[in-house]
Amino acid sequence: MADASFAYLSFLLLLLLPPLALLLILYLIVRPRPVRVPIKNRHVFITGGSSGIGLALARRAASEGARVSILARSLSKLEEARESIRLATGIDVAVFAADVRDYGAVRKAVEEAGPIDVLIVNQGVFVPQEIEKQEMDEVRFMVDINLIGSFHVIKAALPGMKDRGNRGPGSIALMSSQGGQVGIYGYTAYSASKFALRGLAESLQQELISQDIHVSLIFPPDTDTPGLAEENKKRPQLTSIIAASSGAMKADVVAKKALNGIKSGSFVIPCNFEGLLLSIATAGLSPQRSFLMAFVEVVAAGPIRFLALFFHWDWYGKIEKWHAQQKQ
């Protein structure tokens, strides 16, 4: 009897040994090291902070005790946003009217705002269309605002961020999209502009780690915002059909996930369950600070790839069916 339970126990131990060893190894090697980025009493600067996800982020950061600045093009929308944040939280945010395509204007705004602790590069535009129908000026519009605009904002903010003194860890967070993890029908330009942010972010993290600045990439699914309402007016049917593979979210929930991810120094920040699957499927060579998430990535890589192929089976089936219906 005692022998049997001893054999059973040894068997259990033997079974547990490999995963425990893997966990230990990952615990020892994950780099960069985990970090906490505080928000309270710090300067949080949010581009595209007058609407949708950016506005929800600004409201949340203000209610958590941050000093908040928001930047966007339209001064009237900025002032409306300031008023709505004041109503919700009793706190005043600073507003800056500038177009991220205008480097000079962005630099001036950032200088006026003062040194930034947490920079959230969130401005973005999306005009879905098949490339054959999309004009080049619309392609440029998305690349200029989503990608080049992000360079302008980061370059303008960096000198001040480097001089944070001993105010603690800094953060630069970039708003990508699940369309920045997987290409979607109708998003050739949009996805390209968002995929590009990943290369920017991975390189940037290596350049800034010695300055205690931590980079995050946020990957929301379709999110209920004024921007999405506009997009929906012209979205190709197939874009909506495929994007529906991931659940839609409220801006405030995305903002909460994003801010929590920033505070915990996560490099990749998924926002819903499908996003979590996507982030494991596309982990690639992105940094991973959490040994537990690293464990999940290592163990789930194969099965998740298998699952991903089923998504493609589904998507290509839907594309085929849609074209068959058009011919009728």
Ligand X SMILES: NC(=O)C1=CN([C@@H]2O[C@H](COP(=O)(O)OP(=O)(O)OC[C@H]3O[C@@H](n4cnc5c(N)ncnc54)[C@H](OP(=O)(O)O)[C@@H]3O)[C@@H](O)[C@H]2O)C=CC1
Ligand Y SMILES: CCCCCCCCCCCCCCCC(=O)[C@@H](N)CO
- Residues that bind ligand Y in the complex, under the rule CB under 6 A: 126, 177-179, 182, 184, 221-222, 228, 231, 243, 245-246, 274, 277-278, 281, 304, 307-308, 311
Query: Smallest Cα–Cα separation from 192: which of 244, 119, 139?
Result: 139
We find the least distance from the C-beta atom of residue 249 to ligand Y, in angstroms, to be: 10
Please give the Cα distance from 58 to 79 (Å, whole number): 13
Coil, helix or strand for 64?
A: coil
**Catalytic residue chosen out of the listed positions 51, 77, 194, 279:** 194
Distance of CA 38 to the CA centre of its chain: 18
We find the least distance from the C-beta atom of residue 263 to ligand Y, in angstroms, to be: 23
Please give the Cα distance from 151 to 156 (Å, whole number): 8
The verdict on 232 binding ligand X (CB under 6 A) reads: no
The verdict on 48 binding ligand X (CB under 6 A) reads: yes
Query: Smallest Cα–Cα separation from 93: which of 124, 116, 61?
Result: 61
- The answer to whether 263 touches 36, Cβ cutoff 8 Å, is yes
108 is catalytic: no
Q: How would DSSP label each residue in 179-224? A: GGTS--TT-HHHHHHHHHHHHHHHHHHHHHGGGTEEEEEEE--SEE
We find the least distance from the C-beta atom of residue 304 to ligand Y, in angstroms, to be: 5
Looking at the Cβ atoms of 157 and 271, the one nearer to ligand Y is 271
- Show the binding pattern over residues 147-166: x = contacts ligand X (CB under 6 A), - = does not: --x-----------------
Please list, in sequence order, all residues whose beta carbon lies within 8 angstroms of the beta carbon of residue 55, skipping any fewer than 6 positions away: 49, 70, 81, 84, 85, 251
Sequence length of the chain is: 328
Please give the Cα distance from 280 to 266 (Å, whole number): 14
Q: Which does 212 bind (CB under 5 to 8 A by kind): ligand X, ligand Y, none?
A: none
Q: Which does 304 bind (CB under 5 to 8 A by kind): ligand Y, ligand X, none?
A: ligand Y
The verdict on 169 binding ligand X (CB under 6 A) reads: no
Q: How many residues bind ligand X (CB under 6 A)?
A: 30
Q: Which of the residues 83 through 142 are near ligand X (CB under 6 A)?
A: 99-101, 122-126
194 is catalytic: yes
Looking at the Cβ atoms of 98 and 243, the one nearer to ligand Y is 243
The verdict on 223 binding ligand X (CB under 6 A) reads: yes
Tokens representing 38 are 């505080």
Q: Which of the residues 59 through 78 are near ligand X (CB under 6 A)?
A: 72-74, 77
Establish whether the linkage from the previous residue to 32 is cis, with ω within 30° of 0: yes
176 is catalytic: yes
The verdict on 181 binding ligand X (CB under 6 A) reads: no
The verdict on 220 binding ligand X (CB under 6 A) reads: yes
Please give the Cα distance from 280 to 263 (Å, whole number): 21
Residues of this chain that interact with ligand X (CB under 6 A) are 47-48, 50-54, 72-74, 77, 99-101, 122-126, 145, 149, 175, 177, 220, 222-223, 225-228
